[in-house]
Amino acid sequence: MRHPIFKLNNQIILCQKCPRLTSYIRKVANEKVKRYGLEQYWGKPLSGFGDPGAQLLIIGLAPAAHGGNRTGRMFTGDSSGDWVAKVLFNNGFATQASSQRIGDGFALNNAYITAAVKCAPPDNKPSREEIHTCSEEYLRQEILLLKNVKVIICLGKIAFDTLKQLFGIKNQKFFHGNRFAYKNKIILCSYHPSRQNTQTGKLSWDQWNNTFIKAKTLLDT
């Protein structure tokens, strides 16, 4: 029987609830950038992807305008995706260390990737209303449908604050390395692997890798 997450994913792809985001992702897909001028952009909302039976859930901010919004898969075809693919492969959660395009052989093992917002936002800054609409409509359902999840990694403060709002978590703040239990789940916090963080040294590879080592250890115990 087909997992119900796939029905939800089809609904996400067709979503037009946020006019500003709908307009922006179409504009980016039509105008493109020079280095991808010959490519056909996805230009639609992006659902999560991975193993529906996953014990590890990774929540990002939103698709990248010329990454996921171009390739049709989150954390695929950009520098953040390079860091995500490599760390997942190194820790046994992915089939290969590179995620460049749909059909490239990259797949997740015991992991599922999604985001607080399913459309690429202008300047990587979704509005509070857009975050609320998307998370209440879709992220909440994803978490309910992914029944085996034991560990959740939040990439960045927006992902963390969104999860806090959904779960009603109190007395927890975002900082890299924060770890706490909530009901039957463990929440881990990491800086987002954006160029702004990785190229400035705010997020080192060791810091990044250690987050996923912790996740793997938690799932193995």
Q: Which CATH architecture has domain 5-31+50-220?
A: 3-Layer(aba) Sandwich (3.40)
pLDDT category at 1 given cuts 50, 70, 90 is: confident
Q: Which two tokens stand for residue 59?
A: 């929540």
Please name which of 139, 152, 163 lies closest in space to residue 185, comparing C-alpha atoms.
Answer: 152
Contact 212, 88 (CB under 8 A): yes
Q: What angle do CA 161, 146, 137 make, to 5 degrees?
A: 55
CA separation for the pair 111, 191 (Å, rounded)? 19
Distance from C-alpha of 156 to C-alpha of 190, rounded to nearest angstrom: 6
Each residue's pLDDT tens digit, 50-64:
999 999 999 999 999
pTM of the model: 0.97
Domain assignments of the chain as residue spans, ordered by start: 5-31+50-220
Which residue from 148, 175, 177, 149 is spatially nearest to 161, judged by alpha carbons?
175
